[in-house]
Structures are given as C-alpha cells and as structure tokens.
Amino acid sequence: MIYLDNNATTSLDARVAAVLAKAWESGPNNASSQHQFGRRARAALENALDRIGQCLGSDLTRVDAARLIVTSGGTEANNLAIAGLGPEDGTILVSSIEHPSVLAAAGMMERRGHLVLQIDVDSSGTIRLDHLDYLIAETIRLGKPAKLVSIMSANNETGVIQPIAEASAICRKNDVALHVDATQSIGKLPINFSDWGVSSVTFTPHKFHGPAGVGFLWLAPGVSVRPVIFGGEQQLGTRPGTEPVALVVAAAEATALAVEEREASVAKMARLRNELENGLLERHPSLMIHGRSAQRLPSTTCLSLPGTNRQTVLMALDLAGVACSSGSACSSGSSPPSHVLTAMGVEKEALDSALRFGVSKFSTDEEIARAIEVISRKLQAGSRFAHVEN
C-alpha cells in the first residue's frame, strides 16, 4: 500500500515509538500525585513541555513565559482557543478555509449570540489581507468590534501557506487577538511562535510522525483562556484531566526530530511532490493543481481532473493500493464538496473531481513512480466512465 494521505495523519517514527514505549514502561504516570511516582511523572512532563517550547521558539521556564496547554489533539485545542479566547461579546473573524474544528467552534459561538464573519480568500487560496482589514473596520463601525481572529498557517487541503506575519500586524494594530492553527506546518516550515506575534497556536504531533491522542494550545505571555471542560485542577484548571505523560514525552521527541530534520525533509518532500505532479500532468495535461500559483507546503498537492468523480476515483485508488483523500480527514466521509475549494471559486466540475495527496519524509521514489502509474490509470478510467455515463 502506498500511503499518500499524510495531511490526515502520519506514520509513527520508530525513534518516537521507542521513546513512547520507554515512557509507558516507566511505571504509573499521574503527574498530579504527590508520591515519588507522581513527582517523577511531573518532572518528565515539565521537561517534555519545556523541550517542545524550545523547539518552537519559546522558553517556557521564564517568568511571565508563554504557556503550553496539553489537550487530546488539534480539534480540542482549536475548540479551546475559539471558545476560551472568544470574547464575552464582540465579533469573531475566521478565514473561509479553516479546518472544520475551527469553523464548527465558531458556529457554536454564533449560536450563542456572537457575530461571526468569514475572511475571504483569493483564487489561489490565500487569505485576503485587505478583506481582514475591512472586516475589522466594519465591526468597529457596527459597534461590535472584532475581538478574535482565527487563520491557519497553511491549509490542510491545498497546502497554501498563509501570510501570518502580515495578518498578525493588522490584528495587533487593532488590538485583536489572533489564533493560528499550525497543525500542518511543524516540520515543513521554519516555526517560531514568539516571532509571529500572535495570541495562540494549536498543533498536534500525529501530523509529523508523533503519537495521536495528544495536542497542544500555545498561549503567548499574558494571554489567558477560559476552560471549556471542568472537573480538576490540572493545568491551573484551564484544561483539567490527567495529563498523558507518555504521549507528551513522545510528542517532544517528534517535535525535536521534525525541527532538526526539517531542511532535509522539506527538500525530499518537495522533490517527490513535484515528481508526482509533473508525472501526472504529462499524462493528463488538463489536470488542475489547486493553489499552485501560491506558496505551498512541500508535501501537499490538491488536484482535479474534470470529468471524473472524486469518490469513485478515491475508492478505485484504495483498491489499487494508493491511499489519498477527497478533502479534510474530518469531513471527507461526507458528500459535500470541499469548502476550501468552494471559497477559492473553483468550478463545480473541478470540485467534484478534487483529490488530495500528501507525501512525507518517509515516502520513497519507488512509491511515487508506482503511484503515478496507478493514479494515471484510475483517472483515465474515471474519465472514460464519466464520458459513457454522460
């Protein structure tokens, strides 16, 4: 099986697996317990969090330092950010291409009476900074000033990299908190959360060869968040529940490896991604690659061959031994077309045929060469099938 769905999740790095196994084998790990087992677990947890912070540009040991809140994954971290940082009153702005966990959380805030507005993107899938600026000014004019903006650092479907530094400058100028979903960026882009000048950032290690079941919400110094679950005093009551010490320790190892190996990984992923795209374009000149005119993650390609059906081709590829996706893994099982491509103004025929492929640093040349042949055959068969049906 050729795995090309690395935007959804990645394989666990063997080195991370070894660290995880050792942490699990170390004994009971409840960092809230006062006995020596608990104290040992607390030390392991804090050391792992400090290591993650250092890898991503934050010294968590300083007075008035940034905070790193442990969650169950990226979805919970995004929900905590939107609900916990969201204003008691005022407006929330989210980009139209956000992950479903952000859009759904914003929808929940809207049902609670908040005004929620979406920031447009251009045809390449890049957020329009002029529209962000306009919306902030418009909310002030309406007497409902924006208090929170959420923009992902890179899109999970197209891989298009977003102008976070520029958006951050606009938000700071208007005293608006900016939340960033950086789930797809670790190990693929140079990351320094402190330099971004944002209020909060979410990420989860299963996107970069770490364990699933754990995620993080980074909070800038001085930023506080209201809890959305209750029942314990862990993490200063912000996110109660027994911390998964072994998963955090493994996440620290995955983060360190992702940052240390980023340059070599990026070069390899970009080469393999380009080989995949170019090989398919040679065989299918009418193929559309979404977001190709913008800066993209080195790992991601989202393409359409008008005249084929995304679900039919996806299932055919699965049976032929190639794993890919028809959109976000959190929504690809549903029938509606991609909200990301819809926001980009992609026409229906291209929407209906869009597939996403994601390589990783563990992908191989042999896999890509074989994938080109298999994908090409299935696209050709899908096109003939659609032609016969029409």
Indicate which residues carry an active-site annotation.
Answer: 330
Report the C-alpha gap between 162 and 294 in whole angstroms.
9
Helix axes 262-283, 245-260, angle to 10 degrees: 70
Non-local CB neighbours of 256 within 8 Å, separated by 6+ positions: 51, 55
Q: Are 81 and 202 in contact (CB under 8 A)?
A: yes
Look up tokens 């912070």; give the residue: 53
Report the C-alpha gap between 120 and 128 in whole angstroms.
6
Residue 218 backbone phi and psi in degrees, to 5: -90, 130
Report the C-alpha gap between 344 and 125 in whole angstroms.
6
Q: Are 72 and 216 in contact (CB under 8 A)?
A: no
